[in-house]
């Protein structure tokens, strides 16, 4: 997962919630998403209708200029005072609707639609009828109204067809009722000039309405996809926090609880058999049962409508240890040991449940504050954690995968990628036996935590290389330099050197027997919880 400096992640799930059957959970998510579609569509519809009312209130009096020009040129008999009064009345109508509908949150949007567009359509039709009927230039006003309705207020074509049809038909109906024909249908139909003008104006109106409805429907569909993309049932996606090989992490909002949370959407490989989904759900349940205060808690998981797996974590306000390392450089050994003790306690609980994290690194250790202001570390991203058979992990005999002889030059981003499908983890911190193809065990997490400590103390990874091949070779074959020889001026305690080098042993059996033993070894070097470091560090120059 790509590192981000934005406040991050969380993991916890009540056991009861985690035991909800997959089918029921998926159905609930889809029902909630459908309800969310309706709510957001109605809210958008309401907003656009209010915008239409506001524009109507502004533009209607301006079109009085058209009335004045018409009375002075091409239609001298135009009843200008009556038209101006009608314009003023339409303007007041729009203003009154805008004021009323802004506060009437539960007023039906369908009724809003008719109230905003039907009266001006009738008024425009009357103006058209008394200025020449079917040949009147005032039909342009109806055309503009139809265009405004279909473009400004997107939605499903079938939903908006009645209103748009009324707007289009208001032109011939008002011309027939109020125009020269005066309601004489037979005489009006026999008037070839009137029918010619009527057809010439109706065809563009129908075409504009049709194209507008199709465009409106397409915009509505795109909006629905957008809602789906940023909604997961009861969760509203706020923004993307990070992206990596295993998926995307989002900051989200829990609609029911009214609190922030973090969602990781996992990118599953082809899963025709369903094994990946079953494994994901099993491991999500196991992870949700972790109760260490130093583990970011998972409290929900499920499947999106697109079939993507996701889990929901508590939201933390803070920075990762990778961020702290990038900003401040090497850290005091007593503070680092305190951080590691927190992380080791979290991992020890996971190991007791036979869960191996498989991606321990500075970016997955998060520095957060407790309610009393103390800084603690929480272990993030058990997303690729795996439940292992204790005996199988110890035997760890998966066939070796040959290294490619055509490795490209290693970049910083390369070293921080998770090698999905080959080695699970980040190459800078992955244990040698895992790089050789063996099953990741509890001892592999211990190596990764020690490699993380090495980087935090010295400002550089255990091994550096110019190519991925060289990095993998050094990790498997080369003994690491004591961290005290690499650390900045001031050095590290000799005993801490021995502890870290033991945890970085090439063979898992040469490391500490358990993560708890590793934690106990670190404790004498750790600062007291909540205290500041007593170690003087050299100034960092950039």
pLDDT one-digit tens code per residue, 492-516: 888 999 999 999 999 999 999 999 9
Would you list the DSSP string of 442-493? Answer: HHHHHHHHHHHHHHHHHSS-S---SBHHHHHHHHHHSPPPPHHHHSPTT---
Integer Cα distance of 254 and 250 in angstroms = 12
537, exposed or middle or buried, with CB in 10 Å at 0-12, 13-18, 19+?
middle
Share in percent of the chain as helix, strand, coil (round to 5): 55, 10, 35
Choice among 67, 323, 359, 497 that is catalytic: 359
DSSP 47-62: HHHHHHHHHHHHHHHH
Task: Output the pLDDT for position 317.
Answer: 84
Q: How far is CA 32 from the centre of its chain?
A: 17
pLDDT 10s digits, 419-468: 333 344 578 999 999 988 888 889 999 999 999 999 999 999 999 888 88
**CA distances (Å), origin 407, targets 413, 438, 471, 490:** 15, 21, 11, 38
Cα 65 to Cα 62: distance, rounded to the nearest angstrom: 6
CB 378 within 8 A of CB 295: yes
In this prediction the pTM is: 0.56
3-state secondary structure string across 142-153 = HHHHHHHHHHHC
Name residues whose C-beta falls within 8 Å of residue 364's C-beta, 6 or more positions apart in sequence: 1, 320, 357, 379, 380, 381
pLDDT for res 5: 40
What is the rounded distance in angstroms from the CA atom of residue 82 to the CA atom of residue 308? Answer: 63
Stretch(es) of the chain classified as CATH 1.10.510.10: 319-542
The predicted pLDDT at position 398 comes to 39
DSSP 8-class letter at 523: G
pLDDT attached to residue 384: 56
pLDDT value at residue 34: 53
What's the pLDDT at 72?
A: 84
Give dist(CA 199, CA 134) in Å, integer.
Answer: 9
Give the Cα-Cα-Cα angle 360, 361, 362 (nearest 5 degrees): 140
Q: What is the largest CA-CA distance in the chain?
A: 110
Can you name the residues that pair with 302 across neighbouring β-strands? Answer: 310
Block residue for tokens 């079917």:
134
pLDDT less than 50: residues of the chain: 1-33, 270, 392-424, 541-542
Cα–Cα distance, 64 to 91 (Å, whole number): 11
DSSP code of residue 305: T
Q: What single-letter DSSP state applies at residue 296?
A: P
Q: Is 359 a catalytic residue?
A: yes
Q: Fold for domain 319-542?
A: Transferase(Phosphotransferase); domain 1 (1.10.510)
Residues 487 and 332: their CA atoms lie apart, in Å, by: 10
């Amino acid at each position: 997962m790509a590192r981000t400096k934005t406040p991050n992640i969380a993991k916890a799930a009540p056991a009861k919630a985690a035991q909800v059957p997959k089918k029921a959970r998926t159905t609930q998510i889809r029902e909630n998403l459908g309800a969310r579609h309706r709510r957001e569509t109605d809210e958008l519809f309401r907003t656009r209708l209010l915008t239409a009312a506001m524009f109507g209130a502004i533009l209607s009096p301006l079109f009085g200029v058209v009335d004045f020009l018409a009375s002075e040129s091409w239609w001298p008999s135009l009843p200008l005072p009556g038209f101006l009064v009608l314009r003023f009345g339409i303007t007041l109508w729009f203003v009154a609707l805008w004021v009323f509908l802004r506060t009437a949150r539960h007023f039906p949007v369908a009724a809003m639609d008719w109230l905003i567009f039907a009266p001006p359509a009738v008024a425009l039709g009357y103006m058209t009828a008394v200025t020449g009927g079917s040949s009147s230039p005032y039909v342009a006003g109806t055309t503009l109204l139809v265009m405004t309705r279909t473009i400004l207020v997107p939605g499903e074509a079938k939903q908006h067809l009645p209103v748009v049809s009324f707007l289009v038909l208001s032109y011939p109906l008002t011309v027939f009722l109020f125009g020269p024909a005066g309601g004489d249908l037979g005489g009006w139909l026999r008037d070839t000039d009137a029918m010619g003008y009527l057809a010439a104006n109706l065809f563009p109106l129908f075409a504009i309405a049709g194209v507008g409805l199709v465009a409106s429907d397409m915009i509505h569909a795109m909006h629905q996809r957008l809602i789906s993309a940023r909604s997961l049932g009861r969760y509203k996606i706020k923004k993307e926090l990070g992206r990596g090989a295993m998926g995307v992490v989002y900051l989200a909002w829990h609609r029911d609880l009214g609190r922030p949370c973090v969602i990781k959407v996992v990118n599953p490989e082809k899963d025709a058999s369903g094994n990946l989904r079953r494994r994901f759900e099993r491991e999500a349940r196991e992870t949700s049962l972790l109760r260490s205060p130093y583990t970011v808690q998972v409290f929900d998981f499920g499947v999106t409508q697109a079939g993507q797996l996701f889990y929901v974590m508590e939201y933390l306000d803070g920075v990762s240890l990778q961020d702290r390392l990038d900003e401040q450089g090497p850290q005091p050994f007593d503070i680092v040991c305190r951080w590691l003790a927190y992380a080791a306690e979290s991992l020890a609980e996971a190991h007791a449940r036979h869960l191996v994290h498989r991606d321990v690194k500075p970016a997955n250790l998060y520095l957060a504050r407790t309610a009393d202001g103390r800084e603690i570390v929480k272990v993030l991203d058990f997303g690729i954690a795996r439940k292992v058979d204790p005996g199988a992990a110890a035997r760890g005999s998966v066939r070796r995968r040959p290294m490619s002889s055509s490795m490209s030059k290693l970049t910083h981003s390369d070293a921080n990628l998770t090698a999905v499908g080959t080695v699970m983890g980040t190459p800078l911190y992955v244990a040698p036996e895992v790089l050789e193809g063996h099953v990741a065990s509890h001892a592999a997490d211990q190596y990764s935590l020690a490699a993380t400590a090495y980087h935090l103390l010295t400002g550089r990874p255990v091994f550096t290389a110019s190519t991925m091949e060289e990095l993998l070779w050094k990790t498997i074959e080369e003994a690491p330099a004591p961290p005290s020889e690499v650390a900045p001026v001031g050095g590290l305690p000799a005993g801490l050197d021995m502890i870290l080098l033991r945890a970085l042993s090439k063979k898992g059996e040469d490391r500490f027997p358990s993560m708890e033993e590793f934690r106990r070894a670190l404790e004498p070097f750790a600062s007291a919880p909540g205290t500041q470091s007593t170690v003087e560090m050299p100034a960092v120059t950039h």
